[in-house]
Amino acid sequence: MEKDALCTIKAVRTNYLQIDRSFAPQISLHLVRIPPVAVMLQVEIKPEHVDEFIQVMKADAKGSRQEEGCLRFDFLRHVDNPCKFMTYEVFANAAAVTAHGAMPYVKAWGAFQYGDKKPVVSKTVLRADALSFQMQSPSPADNPVVVVFEADVKDECVTDFVEVMTANARGSRSEAGCLRFDLLRGQEGNRGRFVSYEVFESADAIEKHKEMPYTKAWGAFQYGDKQPLASKTVTKYTVLDLQAPELLT
């Protein structure tokens, strides 16, 4: 934008658009929220390649966290199937996702998954907008438990669903045993798909969470007369590599 223009637009790490008033000080400041972009990879690996996969993905996690546009990278393992894994990656915007794809550790993961060994049994990738993303989180416990809730919500119930789940997220973050609660919505072609990414310090913390009024309000909504969910899955994971708070900026 030329200097004689009325104002300039700056993209900042906090993921807002900010009007720079250096050329037009009379203009009021406005902030426009741009949701971070989450990428969830769920993958099953052949047993004989699991150890190598873990090495590759831990290197990916370590490198990704150094990227300016990467807000979070967690690496998880299914509680019941040691060959199933998930990565939870959050980026400041779509441009940061694109930049991430060009990194050497990401290319190393690509070379591994598409190489001659054919280590991948199955995989799904969901790209979503973070409707409610927790920028900071407490220090992780020794053995945290991650709960990933995925649901397809009926169109006529989306507004109510978002309201109930946003209240659930806000309340949950105040719990001593809740380390993280993010709410996501699928992007193009998956706008009816929602995900909550919840991290608790222990199984006991999950049980306490279930007794909270906002959790019960969510239960009343999902099992109420409206029957708002077309489908849902709830999956628990153990942590292989959870991003520590000091790595967040």
The 10s digit of each residue's pLDDT in 171-211 is 999 999 999 999 999 998 999 999 999 999 999 999 999 99
Residue-level pLDDT at 165 = 98
pLDDT digits (tens, 9 = 90+) for 84-136: 999 999 999 999 999 999 999 999 999 999 999 999 999 999 999 999 999 88
Classify domain 35-128 at the CATH topology level: Alpha-Beta Plaits (3.30.70)
Name residue, tokens 């509680």.
79
The answer to whether residue 16 scores a pLDDT higher than 90 is no
Percent with pLDDT over 90 in the chain: 80
Residue-level pLDDT at 219 = 97
- CB neighbours of residue 173 within 10 Å: 17
Residue-level pLDDT at 226 = 94
The answer to whether residue 72 scores a pLDDT higher than 90 is yes
Residue 64's H or E segment, with its range, is helix 50-64
Residue 216's H or E segment, with its range, is helix 213-222
Whether 228 contacts 221, CB under 8 Å: yes
Lowest mean pLDDT among 41-45, 122-126, 190-194, 243-247: 243-247
Q: Please tell me the distance from the alpha carbon of residue 163 to that of residue 155, in angstroms, as a whole number.
A: 14
Tokens of 40: 């969830």
**pTM for this predicted structure:** 0.85
Whether 41 contacts 58, CB under 8 Å: no
29 φ, ψ (degrees, to nearest 5): -80, 135
Give the mean pLDDT of the chain: 88
Architecture of domain 134-239: 2-Layer Sandwich (3.30)
Question: 173, 84, 109: which is closest to 100 by C-alpha?
Answer: 109
CATH 3.30.70.100 domain range(s) in the chain: 35-128, 134-239
